[in-house]
Structures are given as structure tokens and as C-alpha cells.
Amino acid sequence: MIRLLAFLFGCVLGTAAFAQGNLEINTPAIDNYKSSMGQRHAQLTPWYQSGAVGLAKDGTVFLRDPGAVPLAQRQAVSRLVAAENADRAGLYREIARANGNPGWEPDIRATFAQRWANRAPAGWWVQSATGIWQQKK
């Protein structure tokens, strides 16, 4: 009985924590993804600005205009995009897992997709939910 009460108490506390409206995003794995993506960002920025790389509707980055990248650099940019997408996939998965709901991954991904697009500066290319690429004004 005491155990049950303790469990219920924990449960109520957990509920209260949820009501505060915060997701757990402070785990070592999430920190790793953040710093890895942060370091890569400087290398990706020129390609976001030129429109070669855009922010896709599924929360990834996409080499939407390979022709805008000089041939000599195309492979390097492809690698950057692939590495960024691997980190992003890991980040979404890890946030869902850290909050005890691996099934939230698609929702986390969709939320991020919308926020990346929303926060992108003018001039960058973002893909709308219907799949159309638009340059942010």
C-alpha cells in the first residue's frame, strides 16, 4: 500500500511537471547533437544563403539545387548535408526517448521542421508543408 501511494505521489508529481510545459532536452546525447550541429552550421550557412541547400518539410536539410554548388565542392556539401541529417534524426529520436515516449519522434520532427522554417532568416529556402520550395522574404 505504501509503495502504491509512493507510486501515485510520483505520478502526480510527474503530471505537475508536465503541466509546467517543459520537455527534457538536457541530456548528454542531446548536448552532443547540439554542439555537432552548431559547429557544422558555419559551413552550411553559405549554402543556405545561396539557396543550394534548403530546409525541408520533414525537418531535414536538402541539397535542392546542386547546380548552385561548384563541382569541386559538391561532394563536400553532400557530405555536410548527410551529416547534418544524421544528427537531426538522432536529435529528434533522442528528445522523444529522453521524455519517455519514443513514439513522439514524428511529432518532434514535425515541430522542428516548422520551427526551423519559421526561424530561418530572409533569403533562405524553405519547403512548405505541401512540398513547395519558397525563398523566405
* Residues making contact with another protein (CB under 8 A): 4, 8, 11-12, 14-15, 18, 21-23, 25, 30, 34-35, 37-42, 45-46, 49, 91, 95, 100-101, 104, 107-108, 111-112, 115-116, 119
Closest CA to 90 of 31, 21, 39, 38: 31
49, 61 contact by CB (below 8 A) = no
**Residue whose CB is less far from another protein, 20 or 130:** 20
63, 81 contact by CB (below 8 A) = yes
**Residue whose CB is less far from another protein, 42 or 71:** 42
The helix or strand, by DSSP H or E, that contains position 76, with its residue range, turns out to be helix 71-98
For the bound state, the minimum distance from the C-beta of residue 115 to another protein, rounded and expressed in Å, comes to 4
For the bound state, the minimum distance from the C-beta of residue 10 to another protein, rounded and expressed in Å, comes to 9
**Residue whose CB is less far from another protein, 63 or 120:** 120
How far apart are alpha carbons 59 and 10 in whole angstroms? 34
